[in-house]
Amino acid sequence: MADINEKIAQLENFIMKKCLWQFHSRAWDRKNQNENILRMTAELLCGETVNTEDPADRCYWVDAVYLADSYRERFDWLASMSKDEIRELFLALRERLDYVLVDGSLNEELTDPRY
């Protein structure tokens, strides 16, 4: 079984190759996207109900469903994890994405007030 860092790397690699939502142009927007989409993905993988009443939430949710379905299909080790382990894994994944895409990013435009 892959250790947690290897698991995070696999999940991260999929997002970086297949998704676009994590690359919004502002630092705050990237953190917002990471937080909401990854939280909902974890909820879906834990079999929990996701609130999709608000249009913004619904938009996060469609990306989360794609991610959860793709992860289930590709990473069979997810099926053997408990809900707590999944939540912990996704918190660590979010920290990692926040670092690569915001806090450790070399993109000088992320905090440019004029874009």
Partner 1 sequence: MPYHEFECSKCIPERKKHAVTKGPGEDLTHALPLGYLNTIPGSISERGCAYCGAKHVIGTPMKDVIHISHGPTGCTYDTWQTKRYISDNDNFQLKRTFATDVKEKHIVFGAEKVLKQNIIEAFKAFPDIKRMTIYQTCATALIGDDIDAIADEVMEEMPDVDIFVCNSPGFAGPSQSGGHHKINIAWINKKVGNVEPKITSDYVINYVGEYNIQGDQEIMLDFFRRMGIQVLSTFTGNGSYDDLRAMHRAHLNVLECARSAEYICNELRTRYGIPRLDIDGFGFEPLSSSLLKVGRFFGIEDRAQKIIDEETARWKPELDWYRERLLGKKVCLWPGGSKLWHWAHVIHEEMGLDVVSVYTKFGHQGDMEKGIARCEEGALAIDDPNELEGLEAMYKLKPDIIFTGKRPGEVAKKIRVPYLNAHAYHNGPYKGYEGWVRFARDIYNAIYSPIHQLSFLDISKDEIPDEGGFKTQRILSDNGLSEEVRKSNYMREYTGSLDIITPLREKTYPEFNKKP
Q: Which spans of this chain sit near partner 1 (rule: CB under 8 A)?
A: 16-18, 20-21, 23-25, 29, 55-56, 58-59, 61-63, 65-66, 99-101, 104-109, 115
How far from 27 is each of 44, 89, 102, 104, CA to CA, in Å? 26, 23, 6, 11
Q: Which is nearer to partner 1, 1 or 106 (CB)?
A: 106
Token couple for 60:
């996060």
Q: Which is nearer to partner 1, 19 or 78 (CB)?
A: 19
Kindly state the smallest distance separating residue 81's Cβ from partner 1, in Å.
Answer: 24
Kindly state the smallest distance separating residue 98's Cβ from partner 1, in Å.
Answer: 12
User: What residue type is assigned to position 23 of the chain?
Assistant: F
54: left (phi over 0), alpha (psi -120 to 50) or beta: beta
